Amino acid sequence: MIIPAFDLINGKAVRLYQGNYLNKKNYDINLAYCLEEYRLKGINIVHLVDLDGAKNIHNRQIELFKKILSHTTMPIQIGGGIRTTKDINMFLKLGATRIVIGSSSIQNKEKVKKWLKMYGSDVIVLALDVQINDNNKKEIYINGWQKKTNFLLEEIIEYFLPSGLKHVLCTDISKDGTLLGPNFALYKEIASSFKNINFQASGGVATLQDIISLKKSGIKSIIIGRSLLEKKFTIEEAFRCWQNES
């Protein structure tokens, strides 16, 4: 499916270039209007990221998300600095449909295993951000892509599979926010290796052909941010591309 994405800083929609807070572009949009428009046009879920919360858990945009979730019937997948059971319970109580867990899936693996069993595999999404090294190894980065870990993408997926892992949002951080096209080889490889995982491809989508190629790779969903914000194509065109490509 097509999953439109909005990254939020201080209540405003932004896009970062390769995760760099100093390389930020602001967009003048009415988020409530966009959510309603997408709902009416057949979109099933929207991805929202609290970039303030991701950077500093004490600076989270809780009031903003309360307002968003209370004024829309659009299912929302939410991420950004969510690290505790209390955080998850709060967002689910506010009306979020899915909760995206990033750095904690590496730093607190046992806790995340419990969350998968506690909340169910349809609620918890693991966000695994990778950089492909010179040996074609998919190295995982955390803390806003600032810290390289000693883990590879496949290792982490294998670790959580017995706990019911179903949704993985995989970003090639060299592509994110660039409009330079996704890493098709990456997504084809992981979709083939883990057929029971619903991968969400994130990073680099710039054209309708990118959507067609990602669908052919076996990916279940595509996160699309900047190209929709900058009207490279419409949501109807993206949706039609995805639906027509079998």
Which residue in 129, 172, 176, 210 is the catalytic one? 129
Chain centroid, CA 71 distance in Å = 22
Residues in the chain: 246
Which residue in 7, 87, 172, 176 is the catalytic one? 7
59 secondary structure, DSSP code: G
Q: What residue segments make up the domains of the chain, in order of their start? A: 2-244
Residue 209's pLDDT band (cuts 50, 70, 90): very high
129 counts as catalytic: yes
Task: Name which of 51, 179, 23, 150 is nearest 141 in CA terms.
Answer: 150
176 counts as catalytic: no
- pLDDT, position 31: 94
Using CA atoms, how far apart are residues 184 and 241, in angstroms rounded to an integer?
17
Q: Which residues pair with 151 in a beta bridge?
A: none
Assessment of whether the complete model's pTM goes beyond 0.85: yes
The yes/no answer on whether domain 2-244 falls in CATH 1.10.760.10 is no
pLDDT in tens, 10-23: 999 998 877 777 78
53-62, 106-115, 151-160: least confident range: 53-62
Residue 245 has pLDDT above 80, yes or no: no
**Burial category of 209 from C-beta neighbours within 10 Å (exposed 0-12, middle 13-18, buried 19 and up):** exposed
